[in-house]
Amino acid sequence: MSVQERIGKALARGQRRLPKAVLRRRHGQPPTIDGHTLDLQIHAYASLVQAARARSADSDVTPQKIRDGFDTMVEIASGAPVAEVSVHDRTIPGPAGNIPIRLYHPPRTSGRSDAIVWFHQGGGVIGGLETDHTLCTMLSDACQAVVISVDYRLAPEHPFPADVVDSLAAYQWVIDHADGLGIDPARVAVAGTSQGGKIAAVVCQERRREGLAAPVAQILLYPGLDATWQGGSRDTMAEAWPLGGLTLQFFALMGGITDDN
């Protein structure tokens, strides 16, 4: 990590401790779109990120560079994980090779636990096991459930439907290995944010289509479910940070998503 990157991280973390009046003077009032005002802390952080991007002016944008930038953003923005939750990484067999997963076991459990199979955000192009790490520890602790986070394959190296194929395989692996995981196979939910929420919904639909037992619940946090690509927040938030219209188009292009599929 460069000196500039370390300084940038320190500045971003320091923003959390600044009074609101100072943040407003430094970054201005947060925008209001469609009656919703952006959180002041998020607005301040967005201002720092956008200023850094303007200074770098890197025209050679690649998926890996975007992934690296996203990972840095997650590291800065994430709080501390729940220390009492035990964490274990492993791989499981998948249809195109091993799939990395991360297991979260809550404290103070007895007997078989509920389980949540978690799919991370990132438009199918960025993100991984670290993306929602803190959130997964919080879920495991609050729900007293075993959380299984899935590191599905990403585009453009592995275009759609590789992410869905991996996620379906991972869910079935959890069901098949319920005894070893200490979970109740009838009490397994799916959940995710953004792209992960969409994947969770598709897992439910595909299992129903194939006549298999569905997850006990689906927990979808701002999932991408509208395939029309127009209207609503697609228009009002087209210039919003960090997920504007151009970013959504980039994710679709990288993933090989077209009107036909």
Asked whether the predicted pLDDT for residue 47 surpasses 70, the reply is yes
- For 71-75, 156-160, 242-246, which range has the lowest pLDDT when averaged over its residues? 242-246
pLDDT > 70: percent of the chain: 84
Within a 10 A sphere around the Cβ of 27, how many other Cβ atoms?
A: 18
Give the confidence band of 62 by pLDDT, cuts at 50, 70, 90: confident
Q: Which among 130, 118, 92 is positioned nearest to 199, based on CA atoms?
A: 118
Burial class (CB in 10 A: 0-12, 13-18, 19+), 143: middle
pLDDT at 219 > cutoff 90: yes
Whether 19 shows a pLDDT value over 90: the answer reads no
The pLDDT value recorded for residue 59 is: 57
Q: Whole-number mean pLDDT of the chain?
A: 85
List phi, psi (to 5°) of 105: -110, 125
Pairing of strands 86-94, 36-37: unpaired
The answer to whether 191 touches 219, Cβ cutoff 8 Å, is yes
- Domain coordinates of the chain in residue numbers? 3-57, 86-221
Mapping DSSP to helix (H, G, I), strand (E, B) and coil, where does residue 201 land? helix
**Per-residue pLDDT tens over the stretch 94-111:** 999 999 999 999 987 778
pLDDT at 121 over 80: yes
Cβ-contact 194, 124 below 8 angstroms: no
Which pair of structure tokens corresponds to residue 78? 């994430």
pLDDT of 17 higher than 70: no
pLDDT value at 4 more than 60: no
- What pTM, to 2 d.p., does this model score? 0.83
Confidence (pLDDT) at 9: 57
Give CA 157 to chain center in angstroms: 19
Across the beta sheet with 183-193, what order do the strands follow?
86-94, 97-105, 145-150, 113-119, 183-193, 218-221
- DSSP annotation of 108 reads S
The rounded distance, in Å, linking the Cα atoms of 198 and 194 is: 6
How many Å apart are CA 154 and CA 64, to the nearest integer? 11
Asked: is 86-221 a CATH 3.40.930.10 domain? The reply is: no
- CA-nearest of 133, 244, 137, 119 to 192 is 119
Which stretch of 9-18, 26-35, 140-149, 187-196 has the lowest confidence by average pLDDT?
9-18
Q: Per-residue confidence at 64, pLDDT binned at 50, 70, 90?
A: confident
Q: Specify the pLDDT at position 256.
A: 66
- Which residues, other chains included, contact 186 with Cβ-Cβ below 8 Å and sequence gap of 6+? 213, 216
* Selection from 156, 164, 155, 188 nearest residue 94 by Cα: 164
User: In degrees rounded to 5, what are phi and psi of residue 197?
Assistant: -65, -40
